[in-house]
Amino acid sequence: MTLDEATWDEYYRKIQGRQPRQLLLDVLEKYPADTSLTAIDLGCGDGTETALLLSRHWNVLAVDGESSAIERLMEKVPQGARASLRTQVAKFEEVTLSPADLIHASYSIPFCHPNHFPALWNKITYALNPGGRFAGQFFGVHDSWANNKAMTFHTESQVHALLDGLEIEYFHEEDADGQAASGPKHWHVFTVIAQKTQG
């Protein structure tokens, strides 16, 4: 599985026009409807979720390792919402995260190299404000991409260890055959919403 810019561009073309992911819709229900809170869309991809956050009056830092992702995002953002948006083009090992009330990482952080994943996770948990939430996915060891040494995969117990100190509000494991934009694959995914406790 190659992860060069051409591969990501092809992926963005295949998912063009998709709806926002359900995980983001679910976690937003835990916040006031009209908010000026701050979110980080970590691995913002084609920008669908960032655009939704902006439409709901969040301040957003959109981060992606590909400049083409930010370009696609900007095409979705109305001029009047751009004052609430900051962008950062950075690989996971270089990313700088500012304080946030929500960090959304939809199918993104498993693409962090295992050597850099612990530091990335420390940045995520440190950046969360008290009461803030992480919403995202970890890939499991049964996933059909698990032989990719440049990606990070976890057992269920390892995911729970990462979440130690956070209050788990939603935890779901998928371990089943399915489809990816690239074709059939076996998905092993842990989907999580977890809150940083106050104090």
pLDDT in tens, 65-104: 999 889 989 988 888 889 999 999 999 999 999 999 999 9
Q: Which of 114, 80, 95, 91 is nearest to 40 (CA)?
A: 95
- HSE (side-chain half, CA atoms, 13 Å) at 47: 24
Confidence of residue 2 (pLDDT cuts 50, 70, 90): very low
Question: Domains in the chain, please, with CATH?
Answer: 5-196 (3.40.50.150)
CB 125 within 8 A of CB 166: yes
State what percent of residues in the chain have pLDDT above 70: 89
Of 23, 77, 24, 25, the C-alpha closest to 46 is: 77
Interval 109-131: pLDDT, tens: 999 999 999 999 999 999 999 99
